[in-house]
Structure 1
Amino acid sequence: MSTSTPTSLAPYKQSFLTTSLDAGILKFGTFTLKSLRQSPYFFNAGSFYTATLLRSLTTAYAQCLISSPETPRFDILFGPAYKGIPLACCTVDKLAQLDETQYGDICYSFDRKEAKDHGEGGNIVGAPLRGKRVMIVDDVVTAGTAKREAIEKIRKEGGEVVGIIVALDRRETLPGEEGSGRSAIGEIRREFGVPVLAILTMDDIITALEGREGGEEDMKRMVEYREKFGATD
């Protein structure tokens, strides 16, 4: 079965989608989410654990940051523990490879789940956050709780959160608020006044299915899911 994606998507999105489909990271079927919704698709960012797959993921993060008109100027890429740690480190490296002039001095930081009381101590590993413009990188936004905790930690350390980037924006309404059009990412945008970028959205996946041989039934179920739970913000 072909997993080619249509040319209407940006090249980095096309490449990332193809990799995700071929590796079984993006799957179609029936999946129960934490919200207890029955979703027709599932994206497991934790499966990017080989060198080739991790390179695909961090390249997509880097290209999204470089190409998006919403990307703010930032000094540090911050990865919340635990999944965000390798994402921040590897994406900083990829940014410098793709654009040494603009991103050669970009730093990374991440937090500890528990403060260290010996050695250098503290909650933060990597570049100090005080007085710096900080971009958060993570896999997904579910309810937004983890991102709020990260923002609080960064602000406590004296950093300024200027944006967030995730791998997937499901663009669906908050649990229990079907029909409101409000999403977790939309709430974060409004609450903190920062852009939230995403490599992929649910709309991108539906677009990809339009050009995928044998994907008609999956696309139909995705469209029905979007009609029922899709967010407008």
Structure 2
Amino acid sequence: MAETTSRTDFVRFSLEQGVLRFGQFKVKSGRVSPYFFNAGLFNSGASVGRLAGFYAEALIKSGIEFDMLFGPAYKGIPLATATAVALAAHPATADRHIPFAFNRKEAKDHGEGGVLVGAPLQGRVVIIDDVITAGTSVRESVQIIRQAGAEPAAVRIALDRMERAGTDDALSSHSAVQDVARSYGIPVVSIASLSDIMELMEGDAQFGEHREAVAQYRDKYGVSQDT
């Protein structure tokens, strides 16, 4: 498996794939962000394979004990699938059988029916997703996992924007990631974060024209605690 141990390596990989870009982007919150991260652009076998390696490596390094993976529809489905494959190839977990499951947006009314596909939800389940914006997919995932009698063990995401929610005159004290961790009492662990993006920018002259804009955005909307 390719070497995927550094958080800044992941930032560089995201830049190479065009997943992370700098400029001016209007995001879902209505803010104009100096950077944009779109995990949907990991859209080839090679890029998703390497992305899965980052997920697997970061999950193992976290020390979180888990029995299986769950991918929320839709983006979480290929992420959980590919991460299970990467874990099967990783020396630390190659001797383990790590199943995965995912949900449908709408219940199937024929065949096996229901909203779940894959292995039965049981034991300690790690939710694999790309980012957390409003926490909706995590909330739905936690509900599904608990209803099945399993235990949500953690949420694993690609990037933590470390960004507070709310309007400019009424910003929340916590980020969406921190709110999810507090609400459900489970860790949310990212492969990389805004801190890692800033670290890369500070050490690489090619990002000089964007560094100040990202720093100002972080100062205005950011939280200090990393995941």
TM-score under structure 1 normalisation?
0.89
Specify the SS of the correspondent of 2:6. helix
Instruction: Tell me the alpha carbon deviations over residues 112-131 of structure 1, each in whole angstroms, 9 at most, x when there is no partner.
Output: 111122222221111111x4
In structure 2, the residue matched to 1:170 is: 161
2:52 alignment partner, SS class: helix
Partner of 1:200: 192
What amino acid sits opposite 2:158 in the alignment?
A
Verify: 1:231 aligned to 2:217, yes or no: no
Within 5 Å, give how 1:1-233 maps onto structure 2.
Answer: 11-68=5-62, 71-99=63-91, 101=93, 104-129=96-121, 131-176=122-167, 179-233=171-225
Identity %: 45
Cα distance in 2 for partners of 1:22, 1:81 equals 26
Q: Report how many aligned residue pairs link the two structures.
A: 221
Cα offsets for 1:91-131 (capped at 9, x unmatched): 011012113546621110000111122222221111111x4
Given that residues 8 and 192 in structure 2 are in contact (C-alpha distance below 8 angstroms), is that contact kept between their aligned partners in structure 1? no
3-state SS, counterpart of residue 16 of structure 1: helix
Change (3 A) 1:17 1:232: closer
Aligned partner letter, 1:218: H
Q: Which runs of 5+ in 1 are unaligned?
A: 1-9
Instruction: For 2:198 and 2:224, locate their aligned partners in 1 and report how far apart those are by CA, in whole Å.
Output: 16
- Give the partner amino acid of 2:30: L
1:125–1:83 CA distance, 2 compared to 1 (3 A)? same
Distance 1:79 1:92 in 2: 11
**Alpha-carbon distance in structure 2 between the residues aligned to 1:102 and 1:194:** 26
1:156 CA drift (Å): 1.4
Deviates more, 1:72-81 or 1:173-182: 173-182
Q: Secondary structure, in 3 states, of the residue corresponding to 1:139?
A: coil
Unpaired runs of 5+ in structure 2?
Answer: none
In structure 2, distance between residues paired with 1:188 and 1:94: 26
Residue 174 of structure 1 aligns to a residue whose secondary structure is coil
Any idea what the Cα deviations from partners look like across 1:124-145, whole Å, max 9, x if unmatched?
111111x421100000000111
CA distance in 2, matches of 1:101, 1:63: 10
Letter matched to residue 17 of structure 1: V
RMSD: 1.7
Normalised to the residue count of structure 2, the TM-score between the two structures is: 0.91
Secondary structure of the residue aligned to 1:207 is: helix
Does the 8 A contact of 2:87 with 2:93 survive in 1?
Answer: no
CA contact (8 A) 1:16 1:56 kept: no
| Matching residue of 1:7 | none
Separation in structure 2 between the aligned mates of residue 206 and residue 148 of structure 1, nearest angstrom:
30
Kindly provide the amino acid, as one letter, of the partner of residue 178 in structure 2: G
Aligned to 2:115, the other structure's residue is in SS state strand
